[in-house]
Structure 1
């Protein structure tokens, strides 16, 4: 396991000269926002790049002849920053694709909830002034890297910003698995599955399974059972330098899901090994951003009592 995390950076808020735009596909609202943002950035002297799938899917709604487009790897090599227009799902995909290139991400929320996309569509252009003036606040988020092995042979490897979920699949029967942390046996469990979540993912699927909310500054990994057969199996937090292993004992249709966007079918005897990735993501937040204020808004917590 790598304990150095050499790609974690604190200089991700440098003023950008080239900005990549990444949008949710097949959306008229995204096309309009992307057009406005591209023109605004160009007028501010910024070189604008557009992710190729975004360009391909919005080509009928957007005149893209003025802007170069390319793959995520091409964007990673050329962009100083990426602005993601969409919801958290769009942000998750962009984060996994760009993590190794250390490209900071800014989120414009055009989805439903938006725990990671701070800027509303109505405030988009006004917020860009603060961004280009260097007033945004950087925050580093860890990722998980996971390997699926079968008979000691690697069959899949993926990154996850939110979580890695091992579950029962479509058949509906509980699965059996063994959990190990740093090689130490923790438990043998029959359940619908297990969520392995970062602090970023603690407000996603893990939250609906009664997992704890982890502040982004907490360097921990949450292990949250899904409907365990034994009611004494509770969520556990382990350190971000622990290595986690899930061994499938019995699961006819079990699967591993990475951020809910990539799926790998599992067989009896398969192992899913997880650790903190050497790569991290830098999210840039607008001035005045508060994690707890975001939670109050998104989770509809009560407001502060009025003083009499």
Structure 2
């Protein structure tokens, strides 16, 4: 651990990312590290002599992937890279930055520490989502944060039956359901009234979205549970199934959504002084009104 000889860089296209990319590539060159750029981020370095690869090639070739951007950029990278077992380090050029926790002005110091073997390795599980229409698979996707089944409109509710490990839980009429990992518990799930879960928990939370009955509350279940959501055939709308807010599969009345834990975990690298609770204090403003 700690010896990263080939490093891939992924990120979104923005002026802020471009600034950090120049600093990062200069620093890595001084450290005699081989650097590969993703196709998208390479556009920020015109006439670069660095090799340019797609994400699959980066996953197969690199010892470490550095993501420049916000949590959304890292979520997209995570879904692709988890299967390659390559660790990921995030440098925050976005907003909240629960996952991309290195600040731009600390880039050289923290990346240098990682290259010297001083870091914390954090493993996060992802979710698989499969939409079936009878025996036919309509679509499948992965999520690090959450899988969301919703009505797709604020004017109508959907009705669905929820099963956990083949045991009937309830029939619900609501705007939908958020199925979140601990990683996603500080994202959309939190906005929907779900609990904050420590990332080390092996658990999944089911958060109803504006349920028709006030007694419906979030449920935390074992992380190895098999979740099945059956969309009632009487629904008039076609509910979208969204993974991390980025991948959308359109379901139909009568379809079934299966959700379970993905076998491969994301290896997420943090600075040695990283603290989940400190991140919550900083990002969520805990105690900010206290002096």
What band does the TM-score fall into relative to the shorter chain?
over 0.9
2:98 corresponds to which of 107, 110, 115: 115
2:31 corresponds to which of 44, 50, 59: 44
Aligned counterpart, 1:6:
none
Aligned counterpart, 2:182:
199
1:171–1:231 Cα change, 3 Å:
closer
Aligned counterpart, 2:258:
273
1:19–1:149 Cα change, 3 Å:
same
Question: In the aligned structure 2, how far is the partner of 1:129 from the partner of 1:64?
Answer: 26
- Number of aligned residues: 289
Contact 1:141–1:283 (Cα < 8 Å) also in 2: yes
TM-score by length of 1: 0.91
Say if 2:16 is the partner of 1:29. yes
The Cα RMSD (Å) is 1.4
Contact 1:168–1:251 (Cα < 8 Å) also in 2: no
Once the two structures are superposed, what CA deviation does each residue of 1:148-201 show, in whole Å capped at 9, x if it has no partner? 101221111111000000000136300000000011110000000000000000
Aligned counterpart, 2:86:
103
Gaps of 5+ in 2: none
Question: Deviating runs (4+, > 2 A) in structure 1?
Answer: 303-306
Gaps of 5+ in 1: 1-12
Once the two structures are superposed, what CA deviation does each residue of 1:220-258 show, in whole Å capped at 9, x if it has no partner? 000000000011110001101110001101251311000
Contact 1:176–1:251 (Cα < 8 Å) also in 2: no
2:2 corresponds to which of 6, 9, 14: 14
Q: How many angstroms does 1:64 deviate by?
A: 4.7
Contact 2:2–2:118 (Cα < 8 Å) also in 1: no
Secondary structure at the counterpart of residue 119 of structure 1: coil
Question: In the aligned structure 2, how far is the partner of 1:191 from the partner of 1:264?
Answer: 19
Aligned counterpart, 2:275:
290
1:273–1:66 Cα change, 3 Å:
same
Question: In the aligned structure 2, how far is the partner of 1:212 from the partner of 1:156?
Answer: 29
Say if 2:111 is the partner of 1:128. yes
TM-score by length of 2: 0.96
Contact 2:65–2:87 (Cα < 8 Å) also in 1: yes
Say if 2:125 is the partner of 1:142. yes
Aligned counterpart, 2:45:
62
